[in-house]
């Protein structure tokens, strides 16, 4: 209806009706949004930080040649790994002439975790991404870059 009224008015009237039509349209649109949008949409927009669990992709931050590792198993417990825990992973991306190849099963220590970890002094530490350092079977790590 607003489009029909806009087409029948003059140029001055058209601008006035255009703003009126937009206001009418926005009122209809906002009422539809208020019906279809859930009340807890602000909580949905925040990213939920969870444990590092099976099939989590982690960035590798050492000079082993691996770029990305997928977690196969957490050696911490049933929930998953957090900052400082060891995991078993599979190399998904690797540099062409690195020490490890794509598809190898490796051990690693989580050095950056997106989930908050509380400290003894009451502070909490949290990173933006998940990263690990690969270690060999004796527990020695590769050099950090």
Q: pLDDT tens digits, residue range 98-142?
A: 999 999 999 999 999 999 989 999 999 999 999 999 998 666 666
- Global confidence as pTM: 0.63
Residue 23, in any domain of the structure? yes
Please, which residues bridge with residue 81 across strands?
52
Q: Give the number of domains in the chain.
A: 2
What percentage of the chain exceeds 90 in pLDDT? 54
Task: Tell me, letter by letter, the H, E, C secondary structure of 65-87.
Answer: CEEEEEEEEECCCCCCECCCCEE
Count, residues in the chain: 145
Residue 51, in any domain of the structure? no
Task: Report residue 68 as tokens.
Answer: 């990305």
pLDDT tens digits along 31-53: 333 344 454 544 444 667 789 99
User: What mean pLDDT do residues 4-26 have?
Assistant: 47
Residue 81 and residue 50 in contact, taking contact as beta carbons nearer than 8 Å: no
Provide the residue range defining the domain that includes 18.
2-45
Task: Report residue 32 as tokens.
Answer: 């539809």
Q: Do 116 and 65 fall into the same domain? A: yes
Contacts made by residues 51-56, CB under 8 angstroms, sequence distance 24+:
51/79, 51/80, 51/81, 51/82, 51/115, 52/80, 52/81, 52/82, 52/85, 52/87, 52/110, 52/113, 52/115, 52/130, 53/79, 53/80, 53/81, 54/80, 56/80, 56/130
Residue 122, in any domain of the structure? yes
Q: Do 61 and 131 fall into the same domain? A: yes
Q: Do 67 and 101 fall into the same domain? A: yes
Residue 131, in any domain of the structure? yes
Residue 144, in any domain of the structure? no
CA dist., res. 38 & res. 18, Å (int): 31
Q: Do 62 and 127 fall into the same domain? A: yes
């Amino acid at each position: 209806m607003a489009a029909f009224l806009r087409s029948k008015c003059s140029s001055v009237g058209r601008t006035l009706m255009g703003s009126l039509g937009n206001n009418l349209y926005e009122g209809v649109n906002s009422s539809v949004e208020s019906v279809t949008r859930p009340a807890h949409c602000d909580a949905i927009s925040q990213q939920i930080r969870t444990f590092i669990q099976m099939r989590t992709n982690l960035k590798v931050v050492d000079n082993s040649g691996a770029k990305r590792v997928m977690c196969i198993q957490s050696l911490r417990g049933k929930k998953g790994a957090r900052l400082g825990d060891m995991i078993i992973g599979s190399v998904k991306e690797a540099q062409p002439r690195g020490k490890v190849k794509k598809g190898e099963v490796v051990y690693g220590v989580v050095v950056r975790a997106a989930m908050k970890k509380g400290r003894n002094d009451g502070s909490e530490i949290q990173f933006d991404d998940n990263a690990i350092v690969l270690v060999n079977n004796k527990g020695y790590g590769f050099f950090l870059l």
